[in-house]
Structure 1
């Protein structure tokens, strides 16, 4: 027996294998919900509601995001292992708490002398 037509608009997205695979891929490249919606051809609120109504979609999106982060980290370490100085410095700062310090000193490493030339009040009194 055929199902009775419930009327209304058909859903813009279905939680089928093709859509879930696409959502996971979008998560892997850290796409925003707005970007995901554009790729899937729906509005951002529709995509957000779709994730809310379909826990599997939200799960694959989050899984994709985490896999993307792991992949990026793997590539960063690979670049560092190949001697990429910029990546070595960046990873050292991020993971090891290293930082750049710039110390400014006066002549012969001494203190910097500060001399006040004019105050704002003196400038105002002179009409400048």
Structure 2
């Protein structure tokens, strides 16, 4: 007896749909996005995966989402190796703890006094006004 659902006869997930699902997981699509694209509910998706011998969507997501992250990291690494300055800076910050250096000038605007001298003169000026 053929299974039927609210939208008509139930059909198993094709190999093409399964490959599409795995590829969507690799690019970090959400469960809702995947269900919309495959035109099935979350419950149906989990049933189709069980029919294919998979535990459930969450397990499949965990299994394949790292592949997409590794692929992205590989592309970023290649961009840096190819001399992309933005990627070189970003990876340096992420992986090497590098930071942008901010040069701070702690002298007076004309360069004649240090911060300590500025504070002393300001204090002297305040006490002489009293």
Shorter-chain-normalised TM-score: which range? 0.5 to 0.7
Deviation string, structure 1 residues 68-117 (Cα, Å, up to 9, x no partner): 111111111111111111111111111111112324333349439699xx
Q: Max radius of gyration: which structure?
A: 2
Q: In structure 1, what is the Cα distance between the partners aligned to 2:105 and 2:10?
A: 65
- 2:95 is matched with 95
Q: In structure 2, what is the Cα distance between the partners aligned to 1:19 and 1:79?
A: 32
- 1:24 is matched with 22
- 1:62 is matched with 62
TM norm structure 2: 0.62
Contact 2:26 2:68 in 1 (8 A): yes
**Greater relative contact order (Cα 8 A, min sep 6): structure 1 or 2?**
1
TM norm structure 1: 0.62
Which ranges of structure 2 fall in alignment gaps of 5 or more residues?
Answer: 123-130
How many correspondences in the alignment? Answer: 108
In the TM superposition, structure 1's runs of 4+ consecutive aligned residues that sit over 4 Å from their partners are: 5-8, 10-13, 50-53, 112-115
Q: In structure 2, what is the Cα distance between the partners aligned to 1:26 and 1:79?
A: 23
For residues 7 and 82 of structure 1, do their structure 2 counterparts lie closer, same or farther at Cα, with a shift above 3 Å needed? closer
